[in-house]
A and B are shown apart, each in its own frame.
Chain A
Amino acid sequence: MNASTEKLFARLESLLGAPRVSTDPESCAEYSIESVSPSAIASPENAEQAAELVRYAASENLALVPCGNRTKLSMGMPPSRYDIALDMTSVKQIAHYDPADLTLSVGAGASFNDFAVPLYQQKQFLPLSTPFYFESTIGGIVASGVDSALRHSYGTVRDFLLGAEFIDGTGALCKSGGRVVKNVSGYDIHKLLIGSLGSLAVITQVNLRTFPLPPEARGLVASFSSAAQALDLARLIAASALAPSSIELLSPQLLQLFLDQTPEADPSEPASAPLTGLFPENSWHLCVSVEGNAEVCARYVRDLRQLGSQAGAINIHVMDFTDSTGPDLWHHIGQAIPAILEVSPSAAIFKIVELPSKLSPLLIQLAAVADQASLPQAVMARASGIVYFALLPDSNGEAALSSLESAAARVFDLCANKSASASLLFCPTELKHTCNVWGPPRQDLALLRSIKSAFDPHNILAPGRVLDA
């Protein structure tokens, strides 16, 4: 331990107590972001301790990156400075849960078992089957702004985050919003925290609207020989009165990736059956989930079958989610990003936002980008206009990196020309040396910078991770 690390340890220890601080290099390496390790890890017991720590960091100009279970720590650009990892996983208490009001206030560090299980016990849930959901903290889900297939009907966390408590860059404990379902008292500052990757504030508590578990649910997978045909079905559904809970398009390669994967068995749950043999190969699959009572589900399935045939489906497969031992394609859909990263750790995964009517030509252009780069690809597209486009190099060598680099430039270019917007959610660290994961500069950058300064005047919170604000 060098002198400055020793001094840092001593100070953090005086603030939090020795068991809540570590400067051990091996432990610090576990908190590294894109190969940059912090000098110390601080795990405050509560929001007040965390605030004291931020005040200390501000006074010493030390850079902090708040984190939960670190499943999405590599998102964004690498921080320009990183002295202390602020591990919030001890701040996980449920401050308030009123099942009769369908509202929950919970510490940002709460993991699935802390916040989702008590909801399930009341037949409620949060529609957040986001990537790494079962390993994530709720604060991490909010701060990373990741979405889920259920956004089609429930919206994103932006639509049900009622308020938050957080620590700004001066170390002040602040709040915004409240815990009632309708509220216009003051600015919706908490919305700014969604997707801010810890660069505006350290989230300490989130207030969320909860939702009743649907009585029944079904999944229908319609397979097509082309993406365009599958999207025709999405269009037919959009033009009808049907309101499914999710509509996801899977490329043939992505389904194959799911088939090749053996999901880790959860000892508390009965194992679900494999997907093998259920869907035709080399097809695009439109996966539609629906919710309601048995009668409503039956109506959906009937109408969707008809629309599927009308769109030219070569196969239609229906799944009943009430049978928990049946094949669970939607688990794979929710965890598609971790699955891709597991198969191809050097994958570059883009999130591209485009209007639904323009998805079909976009997918053709993306396929051309992959072909040109001679890289395998996988696509998952939400019918509401969110495309996850993955390029899957089989190595992390220089040639692969160079292919990814030119492919990324082409993706950003084609999006700029199409009024779409793209960002690189996950990619090899080396790619970030030459490529800004947020794409080309935007018109409102000056405003974003002003917002960053308003929250974090000393630029100590995850500096450099979001845009170049």
Chain B
Amino acid sequence: MNPALIRELEQLLGRPSVLSRAEDLLLYEYDGSVEKALPDAVVFPTTTERVSRVVKIAAQHNVPIVGRGAGTGLSGGALARRGGVMVVFARMNRILEIDAENRRAVVQPGVVNYELTRAAEPHELYFAPDPSSWKSCTVGGNVAENAGGPHTLANGVTSNHVAALELVLPDGEIVRVGSKHGDANGYDLTGLLVGSEGTLALITEITVKLSRKPEAVKTLLAIFDSVDDAAHTVSDITARAITPSACEMLDGWTLRAVEDYIHAGFPRDSAAVLLIEVEGLGEAVSAQAEAITEVCRSHHAREVRVARDAAERELLWKGRKNAFGALGRLAPSNYVLDGVIPRSKLPQALRRIQEIGQQYGFQIGNIFHAGDGNLHPIVLFDPRDGAQFERAMQASAEIIRYCVEIGGALTGEHGVGMEKSELMPLLFSDADFDLMRRVHDAFNPECNLNPGKIFPLSKGCGEIRARTHSSSAPTFTPHTP
């Protein structure tokens, strides 16, 4: 790394706010995915103006800039794939305003998702997106990835809850888009920026919409002796136009791992459980719970339990939200997929995933947002075994390819990042990439900001314009873990 750059950053932010020693940087080499990439420096700015000046310094030295929240992302989005300066928002973690009457909050990007909901609670409000990592992930990261979570089924993903943003562009300019209300004249830049994975701008302030806590909540645990029955139940709930606030599935293999670790109350001998929540007015919740129970029974549910109180409900959710951690007990590493399928095709998709697992010699577990068709097949592997890792990646690519074939998408909430960029041609044509690139360049023409993400490497900065035809059928290129 350029010592002059480090010096300038230290002069601007003070030495304690700049990391450049190899042993310090190692902590920022990874996120929640299987990817790794080392930044050249890590900085912790405290104000938007300082972020802007960091960006200007990096631009002068022609090094990339990568934003990062808590590093819980699952696609390598917050990794410095091309090195450079990593801007960590941990010290921009203040809730600037809670406007209860208008149901808005203004926060810095480093505010932890759960902390925002806690701060809103006295006003009977909460922040709806609730990724499993909600107790550690940041709102800035949620915005960058357009994060989801179990309760986005009825309430929508992050982009449905963002009204305005303050940005730092790659040349250091500070711009505001959107409005505190949310509606704004002209093109919907806020809508474009949410989910742009840090490739268009650094986001330094976020105005979010808060939601009213429901009057009543009911959590049901439906227990099945067959995965197929559970899958048909989910498709049928959707087809009957019942919209629970959450509808999660855990298959027998994963629920046993979870149960051994968390003791959430999932029956170890079942083939699958559905964790279904309904919320709203008391009268509506009772009717919905009854209708859902009826659907579960019609698909041979062994039992449908209703959580008796808040404690039991929280325990069930603890089991769901900490499931990925529980799987860590079974294998040194796991790869969590994020494909999406039309909800009517859930039973066939789960069968196909099992076939692919058998074909490649892996046990593939499923713990996912069944209600919106967002699958999270989990492939367990040992990263020290290179051949096994490669096989795991091939199986994963095949699952994603299948999701796309049946009308789905590569990723529902984890983002493309550097992990799925090579699979993007499964969905998008050269013309699509060309337009995406021009939109990218409208913000980030020099590709200083989070390079090597979203776009396949063959269509990366400067490369797409030279290529007019698709190179070949897309293949998944595993990165050495």
By a beta-carbon cutoff of 8 Å, the part of chain A in contact with chain B is 96, 98-103, 123-124, 147, 155-156, 158-159, 168, 172-176, 178-189, 191-192, 194-196, 200, 211-212, 235, 238, 241-243, 292-293, 295-296, 299-300, 353-357, 385-386, 419, 421, 423, 438-439, 442-444, 447-448, 450-455, 457, 466-467, 469
Question: Is A183 a contact partner of B340 (Cβ separation < 8 A)?
Answer: yes
Bound CA–CA A299/B283 (angstroms): 8
B451 interfacial by beta-carbon distance below 8 Å: no
Q: List 30 A-B contacts (CB under 8 A).
A: A99-B239, A100-B344, A101-B345, A159-B156, A159-B160, A172-B431, A174-B429, A179-B342, A180-B373, A182-B373, A184-B195, A184-B412, A184-B416, A185-B410, A191-B192, A192-B189, A194-B188, A195-B185, A235-B101, A293-B284, A296-B287, A353-B179, A353-B181, A355-B181, A386-B183, A421-B181, A421-B184, A442-B185, A442-B186, A454-B435
Q: Whole-angstrom distance between the alpha carbons of A279 and B280 in the complex?
A: 31
Which of B223-231, B315-323, B436-444 has 4 or more CB atoms under 8 Å from chain A? B436-444
Contacts A184-B414, A296-B287, A353-B179; A192 near B241 (Cβ below 8 A): no
Task: Note all chain B residues with C-beta closer than 8 A to A457.
Answer: 438
Docked complex Cα distance between A100 and B243 (Å): 12
Is the beta-carbon distance between A184 and B374 smaller than 8 angstroms? no
Residue of A nearest to B407 (CB): A179
Binds A, one of B19-27, B145-153, B260-268, B352-360: B145-153
A448 partner, pick from B180, B187, B343, beta carbons under 8 A: B187
Q: Which residues of B contact A (CB under 8 A)?
A: 99, 101-104, 145-146, 148, 152, 156-157, 159-160, 175-177, 179-181, 183-189, 191-192, 194-196, 212-215, 235, 238-239, 241, 243, 280-284, 287, 340-345, 369, 372-374, 407-416, 420, 424, 427-429, 431-432, 434-436, 438-443, 454
Q: Which residue of A124, A147, A182 contacts B340 across the interface (Cβ within 8 Å)?
A: A182
Residues in chain B near residue A173, CB distance under 8 A? 431
Residues in B neighbouring A186, C-beta threshold 8 A: 416, 424, 427-428, 432, 436, 454
Query: Which residues on A sit within 8 Å (CB–CB) of B416?
Result: 184-186
How far is B243's CA from A102's CA once the two chains are assembled, in angstroms? 11
**Smallest CB gap from B195: residue in A:** A184
A123 nearest CB neighbor, chain B only? B241
Give every chain B residue within 8 A of A158 (Cβ-Cβ): 188, 191
- Point out the residues of chain B lying under 8 angstroms from A444, CB to CB: 175-177, 186, 189
Interchain CB contact under 8 A, A189 and B212 = no
Complex Cα distance, B432 from A204, in Å, reads 14
What residue in chain B is nearest A449 (Cβ atoms)? B442
**Contact between A187 and B196, CB atoms less than 8 A apart:** yes
* A181 lies within 8 A of B413 (CB): no
Q: Which residues in B have their C-beta under 8 angstroms from that of A103? A: 342
A172-B434, A182-B372, A467-B185 are contacts. A102–B412 as well, Cβ < 8 Å? no
State A334–B248 Cα separation when bound (angstroms): 37
Q: How far is the CA of A235 from the CA of B214 in the complex (A)?
A: 17
CA distance A455 to B191 in the complex (A): 16
The reply to whether B238 and A100 form a contact with Cβ atoms under 8 Å apart is: yes
The contact of A184 among B188, B238, B415, by CB within 8 Å, is B415
> How far is A186 from B433 in the complex, measured between Cα atoms in Å?
9
Cβ of A385 and Cβ of B409 under 8 Å apart? no
User: Which chain A positions have C-beta within 8 A of B235?
Assistant: 100
B384: min CB distance to chain A, Å: 31
Partner of B187, one of A174, A300, A451: A451
Q: Are A195 and B186 in contact (CB under 8 A)?
A: yes
A439 to chain B, nearest CB (A): 7
Asked if B427 and A178 sit within 8 Å, CB to CB, the answer is yes
- Picked from B191, B427, B443, the residue with its CB within 8 Å of the CB of A450 is B443
A286 → B minimal CB distance (Å): 17
For A467, what are the chain B residues with a Cβ–Cβ distance below 8 Å? 185-186
Q: How far is the CA of A175 from the CA of B435 in the complex (A)?
A: 9
Closest B residue by C-beta to A297: B283
Are B284 and A292 neighbours in the complex by a CB distance under 8 Å? yes
* Chain A proximity of B42: nearest CB distance (Å): 26
Q: Which residues of B contact A448 (CB under 8 A)?
A: 186-187, 189
Determine which of B192, B239, B410, B415 lies in contact with A188 in the assembled complex, contact meaning CB atoms within 8 Å.
B192
Q: CA of A302 to CA of B415 in the docked complex: distance in angstroms?
A: 45
CA distance A194 to B179 in the complex (A): 16
| Interface-centre pick from A96, A187, A466, A467 (highest chain B CB count, 10 A) | A187
CA distance A172 to B436 in the complex (A): 12
Chain B, residue nearest A122 (CB): B241
Residue picked from B212, B214, B428, B435, most chain A C-beta under 10 Å: B435
CB–CB A102/B194 < 8 A: no
| Contact partners of A423 in chain B: CB under 8 A | 185
* Contact in complex: A454, B342 (CB < 8 Å): no
Q: How far is the CA of A185 from the CA of B102 in the complex (A)?
A: 32
Q: In the bound complex, what is the Cα–Cα distance between A196 and B189 (angstroms)?
A: 12
B434 to chain A minimum Cβ distance, whole angstroms, is 7
Given contacts A241-B215, A438-B186, A447-B177, is CB(A188)–CB(B408) below 8 Å?
Answer: no
When chains A and B are docked, how far (Å) is the Cα of A293 from the Cα of B291?
Answer: 12
Are A182 and B157 in contact, CB atoms less than 8 angstroms apart? yes
Distance of A200 Cα from B192 Cα, bound (Å): 14
Chain A residues with CB under 8 A of B152: 182
- A466→B188 CA distance, assembly (Å): 12
Docked complex Cα distance between A195 and B182 (Å): 14
Contact, CB under 8 Å: A192 / B287: no
Closest to A145 in B: B188
Interface residue from B187, B281, B429, B439 paired with A187 (Cβ < 8 Å):
B439
**For the complex, what is the distance from the CA of A155 to the CA of B431, rounded to whole Å?**
31
**A335 → B minimal CB distance (Å):** 21
User: In the complex the two chains form, what is the Cα distance from A466 to B214 in whole Å?
Assistant: 40
Measured in the bound complex, the distance between the Cα atoms of B187 and A448 in whole Å is 7
A-chain residues with CB within 8 Å of residue B187 when the two chains form the complex: 192, 195-196, 200, 448, 451-452, 466, 469
**A355 contact from B102, B372, B415, Cβ within 8 A:** B102
Q: How far is the CA of A186 from the CA of B412 in the complex (A)?
A: 11
B393 → A minimal CB distance (Å): 18
- CB-CB under 8 A from B427, the residues of chain A are 178, 185-186
What separation, in Å, do the CA atoms of A338 and B443 have in the docked complex?
A: 39
| A178 and B428 alpha carbons, distance in the complex (Å) | 10
Q: What residues on B are CB-neighbors of A385 within 8 Å? A: 102, 181, 183
Contact A443 B175 (CB under 8 A): yes
Contact present for B188 and A191 (CB under 8 Å): yes
Contacts of B428 in A (CB 8 A): 175, 186
Residues of B contacting A355 in the complex (Cβ-Cβ under 8 angstroms): 99, 102, 104, 180-181
User: Quick one: given A155-B156, A159-B160, are A182 and B412 in contact (CB under 8 Å)?
Assistant: yes
Chain A, Cβ-Cβ closest to B160:
A159
Collect the chain A residues with CB atoms within 8 Å of residue B177's CB. 444, 447
Query: How many angstroms from the CA of A102 to the CA of B434 in the assembled complex?
Result: 31
B321 CB, min distance to chain A CBs, angstroms: 18
Can you name 6 extra interface pairs (CB under 8 A) apart from A186-B416, A192-B191, A444-B189? Answer: A175-B432, A195-B188, A293-B283, A353-B183, A447-B443, A451-B189
Find chain A residues with CB under 8 A from B241 CB: 102, 123-124, 211-212
B309 nearest CB across to chain A (Å): 19
Using Cβ atoms and an 8 Å threshold, which residues of chain B touch A452? Answer: 187
Closest residue of chain A to B340 (Cβ to Cβ) is A180
Determine how close the nearest CB of chain A comes to the CB of B336; give it in whole angstroms.
14
Q: Taking the nearest CB of chain A, how far is it from the CB of B389, in angstroms? A: 24
Query: For A96, A181, A300, A442, which residue has the most chain B Cβ atoms within 10 angstroms?
Result: A181
Closest 4 pairs (CB-CB, A-B): A212-B241, A191-B191, A241-B215, A450-B442
With a CB–CB cut-off of 8 A, which chain A residues contact B239? 99-100
The reply to whether B145 and A299 form a contact with Cβ atoms under 8 Å apart is no
| A100, A189, A438: residue with the most chain B Cβ atoms closer than 10 Å | A100
A248 and B189 alpha carbons, distance in the complex (Å):
28
Contact A192 B283 (CB under 8 A): no
